[in-house]
Copies of this chain bind each other. A is one copy, B any other.
Amino acid sequence: MRALLEKIAAEGEVVAGGVLKVDRFLNHQVDPHLMKRIGEEFADQFRGERPTKVLTLESSGISPALMTAYELGVPLVVARKRRPLTMTGEVYRAEVYSFTKQEANEIVVSRSLLDGFDRVLIIDDFLANGQAALGMVEVVRQAGAAVVGIGIVIEKAFQDGGRLLRSRGFRVVSLARIASLADGVIRFHEEVMNG
């Protein structure tokens, strides 16, 4: 998605440890019009799969996922990292291991929000090693629902997540694929492919 690639090139920043910082438009500060375009793009890509729900993980996934759900005309379900006081009923739960923080966290979704008739589109802001997406896939599996696709705003194509998810048969659509952040330079997959 050209507008996104241009935004990453112009405002993305590689910080210590090879982390891509996009907090001027995707997570800490959010560009609502870019999110709208991202939502339209995901909706166009996945409308044919007839999703009944969009699922994301708090909190950085919410903005692109909300706009996608809006375009598709379906509810958004936000998986929680901490079980809030108001979540009183039965839940689906999955473990998500964070390599950056080196800790395992549980994600939870109320059982009342997903069932065996749901066709779930998973949306997240980043795909690196795929642990968050796999946690959401597990939640959908527990509900007996189907994953109809996985939409990712920025895929770190030099990490394993994309391969892992695609090898399991999931259709993964990434709007920007980063081939490398080596030497603090952001190189897109498309650039590398074209030499």
Contact = CB atoms under 8 A, between A and B. Distances in A.
Contacts of A27: 78, 84
B29 A77 contact: yes
A76 B19 contact: no
Contacts of A77: 28-30
A100 interface: yes
Contact of A32 (B19, B25, B75, B80): B75
Contacts of A59: 58-59, 62, 78
Number of copies: 2
A73 B74 CA distance: 24
A90 B74 CA distance: 39
Contacts of A29: 75-78, 113
A194 interface: no
A110 B23 contact: yes
Interface in A65-85: 66-67, 69-70, 73-78, 80, 84-85
B76 A36 contact: no
Given A62-B59, A63-B66, A70-B36, A85 B19 contact: yes
Nearest to A30: B76
Interface string A5-45: 00000000001110101011101111111011000000000
A185 interface: no
B30 A69 contact: yes
Interface of A: 15-17, 19, 21, 23-25, 27-33, 35-36, 58-59, 62-63, 66-67, 69-70, 73-78, 80, 84-88, 100-101, 109-110, 112-113
Given A32-B76, A35-B70, 11 more contacts: A19-B86, A28-B80, A28-B109, A28-B113, A29-B77, A29-B78, A29-B113, A32-B69, A59-B59, A62-B62, A63-B76
